[in-house]
């Protein structure tokens, strides 16, 4: 480097690397995610990836933390708009049937997160925070057991719909949510 000239610092580089890691995971899966692929997707030198993240596991963990926070924020935001039990029920239907949870990329990344967390216990904490955030948003309107059922329903229907040849439509999702929330009104 010539005297008097300094390298330009890119404060967004770390964030771009994390976003690129999620893109690579979505395209190739965790087993085929490498520092080199992430660097190429982020448009940064390979050394930048290893500068910001000591290990690939550290980078994957950070990427999954970001995914969980984004999904939790979207869930929480939609549930925060609910003012009573009926509007909370509609929010849950929107979350399942709409793009809050059922967006294909988010679903694909969540599959990868679940599998990665199963083999990397520290990442399980990321999943637990995600579940806790979802449950906290639901507990404003529902008892703890119903909250757990709804939390599982949100993820389960989203996952099933993503691969089912005959996915549930909004009306069916609405019927199921009503059955879980108000089983006596079948």
The encoded tokens of residue 86 equal 């009926």
Q: Give yes or no: residues 37 and 65 share one domain.
A: no
pLDDT tens readout for residues 43-87: 999 999 999 999 999 999 999 999 988 888 989 999 999 999 999
What pLDDT, on a 0 to 100 scale, did the predictor assign at position 172? 96
Clarify whether residues 170 and 82 are in a common domain. Answer: yes
In this predicted structure, the answer to whether residue 24 has a pLDDT above a threshold of 90 is yes
> For residue 105, how many C-alpha atoms fall within 13 Å in the half-sphere facing its CB?
10
Give the model confidence (pLDDT) of 154-180 as tens digits.
988 988 888 889 999 999 999 999 999
Residues 176 and 115 in one domain: yes
Q: Specify the DSSP element, H or E, that contains 59.
A: helix 56-80
- Percent over 70 (pLDDT), the chain: 92
Alpha carbon separation from 67 to 7, 34, 45, 160 (Å, rounded): 31, 18, 24, 20
**Domain boundary, last residue among 38, 53, 68:** 53
**pLDDT band, very low/low/confident/very high, at 42 (cuts 50, 70, 90):** very high
Quote the pLDDT of residue 9: 67
> Do the Cβ atoms of 162 and 104 come closer than 8 Å?
yes
**CB 82, CB 100: distance < 8 Å:** no
Measured distance CA(5)–CA(10) in Å, rounded: 15
pTM score of the predicted model: 0.81
Residue 108 sits in the same domain as residue 177: yes
pLDDT of 6 reads 44
Q: Which two tokens stand for residue 102?
A: 């059922």
CB 61 within 8 A of CB 122: yes
Looking at the predicted structure, is the pLDDT value of residue 38 above 90? yes
Find the domain containing 97 and state its range. 55-185
Distance (Å, whole) CA 36 – CA 32: 11
Average pLDDT of the chain?
Answer: 89
> Is residue 71 domain-shared with residue 145, that is, in the same domain?
yes
- Is residue 57 within 8 A of residue 31, CB to CB? The reply is no
Q: Which of 119-123, 137-141, 150-154 has the lowest mean pLDDT?
A: 119-123
Dist CA 177 CA 158 (whole Å) = 13
CB-neighbour burial class of residue 68 (10 A; exposed 0-12, middle 13-18, buried 19+): buried
Domain count, the chain: 2
Residue 32 sits in a domain of what CATH number?
A: 1.10.10.60
Contacts of 42 (CB under 8 A, 6+ apart): 13, 16, 17, 19, 20, 48, 49
59 and 89 share one domain: yes
């Amino acid at each position: 480097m010539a005297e008097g000239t300094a390298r330009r610092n890119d404060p967004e580089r770390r964030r771009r690397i994390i976003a690129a890691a999620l893109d690579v995971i979505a395209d190739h899966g965790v087993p085929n995610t490498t520092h080199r692929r992430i660097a190429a997707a982020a448009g940064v030198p390979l050394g930048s990836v290893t500068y910001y993240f000591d290990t690939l596991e550290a980078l994957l963990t950070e990427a999954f933390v970001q995914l969980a926070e984004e999904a939790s924020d979207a869930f929480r935001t939609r549930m925060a708009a609910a003012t009573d039990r009926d509007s909370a029920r509609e929010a849950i239907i929107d979350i399942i049937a709409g793009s809050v949870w059922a967006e294909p990329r988010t679903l694909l990344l969540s599959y990868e997160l679940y599998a990665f967390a199963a083999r990397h216990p520290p990442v399980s904490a990321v999943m637990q925070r995600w579940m806790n955030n979802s449950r906290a948003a639901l507990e404003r309107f529902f008892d703890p057991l119903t909250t757990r059922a709804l939390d599982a329903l949100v993820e389960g229907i989203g996952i099933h719909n993503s691969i089912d040849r005959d996915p549930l439509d909004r009306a069916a999702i609405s019927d199921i949510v009503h059955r879980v929330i108000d089983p006596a009104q079948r």
